[in-house]
Amino acid sequence: MPKTTTFLTGAHTTKNHWLAGLLMAIFSSMTMAASNNEEDDARWYEIELVLFAHNSPQALDAEQWPAIIGADLPLEALLELRLPQEIAPQVADEMIDETITAESSSAEAPVADTTGPPIAFQLLDESEWQLQETARRLRRSSHFEPLLHVAWRQPTYERARARPVLLYDGMTKPLIINGRPPSEAEIHAGPPNPKLIGTVRLSVARYLHLATDLIYRIPVTQQAAVPIPDFDLWYDRPYPTLYEPQGPAYRLKEWPAVRGFRLRESRRMRSRVLHYLDHPLFGLVVLITPVELPKAEDSESAAAQ
């Protein structure tokens, strides 16, 4: 009888199943470890953006712009930046009392661990911005209108795994809808009528790439020539003559509207270098800086102190 048939019978079958299960468990643990290592080995970057509009009315009529209704946001993959965690006044008072008590006692006050990893996709405070002077110059110039200034840190992967980050004007403050914060039952991706909305997506392989898909919306006055009905034309001229030239007549109709202008671009970036992406009506300045993560031994020594 062939060995293969004997191997699949009796006690050999139980042993084979156990061995197969062991191999599957080892393979699964290796896969999870590889996935965790891939997460741990992600390259971190700090991204800072300054977005602004051009105060140039001539650009609006410089060419025929495509009609843009709204932003097509990838809601399933979309990442929203979190606001910095604020400390409630009551909690702050308790922390101050604990600090005073600890300082007055003989025991040493505990030292906060500041060597931990950075928080991903959380807005940085203004004190951590690097483009303060650039934003200040834009505000002082009459040629530009500041729209948004944000910065955050994130792990960055190859393009297939990179996820878009949602941006919109006013995102540095809590979202208010109809005079109140939105309830849990209300789902909104940004404000209901944004002036600026869109996404940016940072990826890294051999080079850094930043993909932008932003829409800038401004109020405009739409105009159209509307034919004048024959009856209205006759009513305006109650005494027409036979020799009066006949033919279609038009009147100019105007109405307020909102038009959107899109900046969709993918560009290779260099870290620590200021980049400029432009559109005739708006643009943005980008600075991408590598983030050094704390080493494991540094975290262990800080925890032991």
pLDDT at residue 121 tops 80: yes
pTM for this prediction? 0.68
Query: So what's the pLDDT on residue 31?
Result: 38
DSSP state of 244: S
pLDDT higher for 76 or 303?
76
Q: Are residues 35 and 268 in contact, defined by beta-carbon separation less than 8 angstroms?
A: no
Query: So what's the pLDDT on residue 125?
Result: 94
- Facing residues of 282 across strands? 53
Mean pLDDT of 222-243: 64
Place of tokens 């005079």: 179
Q: Are residues 111 and 71 in contact, defined by beta-carbon separation less than 8 angstroms?
A: no
How far apart are alpha carbons 282 and 214 in whole angstroms? 10
Q: Mean pLDDT score of the chain, rounded to an integer?
A: 74
Query: So what's the pLDDT on residue 97?
Result: 55
Task: Provide the percentage of residues in the chain whose pLDDT is more than 70.
Answer: 60
Mean pLDDT of 84-95: 52
Query: So what's the pLDDT on residue 149?
Result: 98
How far apart are alpha carbons 163 and 199 in whole angstroms? 9
Instruction: List pLDDT tens digits, range 283-293.
Output: 999 999 999 98
